[in-house]
Amino acid sequence: GAGVSQSPRYKVAKRGQDVALRCDPISGHVSLFWYQQALGQGPEFLTYFQNEAQLDKSGLPSDRFFAERPEGSVSTLKIQRTQQEDSAVYLCASSPSQGLGNQPQHFGDGTRLSIL
């Protein structure tokens, strides 16, 4: 498909387990963003990549959260030692621009993470 693809769509994990969430951006898009959306809230910024470089990780809530985009395409968001407050929908977005604004970001359908 031509859109942003995220997998898995749903993930259930026990507290303390590690999880990995995958994002396939739109082909050729330079910028990639991760957001976290809690129930009843708008998405909140986690981290930003320009190609393979992680230029902003100011939104990551703790050092348990780690993201990478080693070849400038697919990205993985990893959460170590998950806690119940990590339960949320994790959204990935991509845009063709290099973070200079005026380009809409296109979102995937997200991964709904539930920590038991």
Partner 1 sequence: DQQVKQNSPSLSVQEGRISILNCDYTNSMFDYFLWYKKYPAEGPTFLISISSIKDKNEDGRFTVFLNKSAKHLSLHIVPSQPGDSAVYFCAASAPYGGSQGNLIFGKGTKLSVKP
Sequence-separated (6 or more) residues with CB below 8 Å from residue 101: none
CB burial of 38-65 (b: ≥16 within 10 Å; e: otherwise) equals eeeeebeebbbbbeeebeeeeebeeeeb
Tell me if 104 contacts partner 1 by CB under 8 A.
Answer: yes
Q: Rounded to whole angstroms, how far apart are CA atoms 87 and 12?
A: 9
**Between 13 and 26, CB nearer to partner 1:** 26
Per-residue contact flags (x/-) with partner 1 for residues 13 to 32, judged by CB under 8 A: ------------------x-
CB 47 within 8 A of CB 67: yes
**Between 7 and 50, CB nearer to partner 1:** 50
Tell me if 91 contacts partner 1 by CB under 8 A.
Answer: yes
Tell me if 2 contacts partner 1 by CB under 8 A.
Answer: no
Neighbours of 14 (CB within 10 A): 8
Tell me if 99 contacts partner 1 by CB under 8 A.
Answer: yes
Tell me if 39 contacts partner 1 by CB under 8 A.
Answer: no
For partner 1, the binding residues (CB under 8 A) are 4, 6, 31, 33, 35, 40-45, 48, 50, 55-56, 58-59, 91, 93, 95, 97, 99-110
